[in-house]
Amino acid sequence: MFDSVAVVGATGAVGTIIRELLQSRRFPLREIKFLASRRSAGKRIRFAGEEITVEELRAEVFEGVGLAISSTPDEVARDFIPQAVERGCVVVDESGYWRMDPKVPLVVPEINPEAIHDHQGIIASPNCSTTQMVLAIKPLHDAGRVRRVVVSTYQATSGAGVAGSRDLEKGTAAKLAGEEYSYECFPYPIAFNCIPQIGSHKHKGYTSEEMKMVYETHKIFDDDSIQICPTCVRVPVANCHSESILVETEKKITVEQARELFAAMPGLVVVDNIEEKLYPMPITGDGSDETLIGRIREDLSSPNGLAFWCVSDNLRKGAATNAVQIAELLQESRR
Ligand SMILES: NC(=O)c1ccc[n+]([C@@H]2O[C@H](COP(=O)([O-])OP(=O)(O)OC[C@H]3O[C@@H](n4cnc5c(N)ncnc54)[C@H](OP(=O)(O)O)[C@@H]3O)[C@@H](O)[C@H]2O)c1
């Protein structure tokens, strides 16, 4: 058991779910610390029947802390994590900063759990849009070797944190009331709109969010040969990312085989009956730790293509649940 565990970014959208999961999954610990920015220091948060006071994130707070689960902005993770590791703390990090560092394993427990053993103090959890896609393509890759993926995302505003959720709520209310609203985190109004840019321009017209889906998938599968063409779009949905995914495999996989492969994959649930109007939607994925797959069909334009729709709670499996699962693997490996 880790004597002392810290949740860094405990007041944020992801941190809130991490706190909830540590309680509901009964993560074994003796002491817990909640850390955030100076703005939140002194706030009191209930955890397992106790009131915990949020502390300001400072290096000294990690003395005696064995494990930290962190969800802060990238630049915060860049600065504090080496200081925490120096003090003997293992950090499971949700930010994008460390994911592509060759010394840092990037882990989805259903796919590459063994990678946690190679850590040197930091283990990264992937971007939310990557996690649900790799979970979905893993069984197809194992069965028929995935050659090419074309993916379009429909990403919820909670993916941009507490401020993103606030923007959707307040922007929608203002629009309906015919009032002005100054958006905090989106470059255009998200109410009644879609924004086909998440992150900054990164490579050949692709955004940083899109390139994360490419680089992170290659790292998780340890296979750079998978060709990926992503388009990431912010949509006015409160929570849960949806993805339209087209996969081309070396060996043909039929719809029936795909349904069986998806159903056998831990973490995936098939919801697929167009006749009965059954398919995953953000409102059905919200609050679930599982990734939902539906609309499974043959690609009409290529012989080995398979198209499907995938929905996952970005705050849970896309972030907090994956990080807590990694922490549970670490915990088991210490027994
Ligand atoms: N939202 C998602 O779906 C999702 C999915 C995967 C990964 N991630 C990643 O997870 C991280 C957190 O995302 P989020 O959505 O939870 O964001 P968020 O709601 O904005 O929360 C950010 C957290 O970081 C803390 N923080 C900010 N600046 C800080 C500083 N200078 N020092 C210490 N703490 C600081 C905040 O504390 P205060 O409350 O005190 O400001 C808050 O607890 C980001 O790197 C994001 O890319 C998010």
Q: Domain limits of the chain?
A: 2-126+319-333, 129-313
Output the six-digit token pair for 136: 């979905």
Per-residue pLDDT of the chain (335 residues; tens, 9 = 90+): 788 999 999 999 999 999 999 999 999 999 999 999 999 999 999 999 999 999 999 999 999 999 999 999 999 999 999 999 999 999 999 999 999 999 999 999 999 999 999 999 999 999 999 999 999 999 999 999 999 999 999 999 999 999 999 999 999 999 999 999 999 999 999 999 999 999 999 999 999 999 999 999 999 999 999 999 999 999 999 999 999 999 999 999 999 999 999 999 999 999 999 999 999 999 999 999 999 999 999 999 999 999 999 999 999 999 999 999 999 999 999 87
Q: Which of 17, 21, 37, 44 to mutate to test the pocket of ligand 1 (most atoms within 8 A of CB)?
A: 37
Q: What is the pTM of this model?
A: 0.97
- Residues 89, 119, 128, 310: which is the catalytic one? 128
What does the DSSP assignment read for 221-275? HT-TT-EEEEEEEE-S-SS-EEEEEEEEESS---HHHHHHHHHHSTTEEE--BGG
CATH number at 2-126+319-333: 3.40.50.720
Ligand 1 atom 20: residue of nearest CA: 161
Between CA 34 and CA 54 the distance in angstroms is: 5
**For ligand 1, atom 35: residue with the closest CA:** 37
pLDDT of residue 1: 79
CATH topology of domain 129-313: Dihydrodipicolinate Reductase; domain 2 (3.30.360)
160 CA → ligand 1 middle, Å? 9
Angle at 248 between CA 244 and CA 252, to 5 degrees: 125
Residue 93 C-alpha to ligand 1 middle, in angstroms? Answer: 11
Judge whether 128 counts as a catalytic residue: yes
Instruction: Give which of 163, 168, 165 is closest to 191, Cα–Cα.
Output: 168
What pLDDT shows up at residue 304?
Answer: 97
* pLDDT given at position 2: 85
Distance from the alpha carbon of residue 70 to the mean position of ligand 1, in angstroms = 9
The reply to whether ligand 1 has any atom less than 6 angstroms from the CB of 39 is yes
Query: Among this protein's residues, is 203 annotated catalytic?
Result: no
> Ligand 1 centre from 161 Cα, in Å?
6
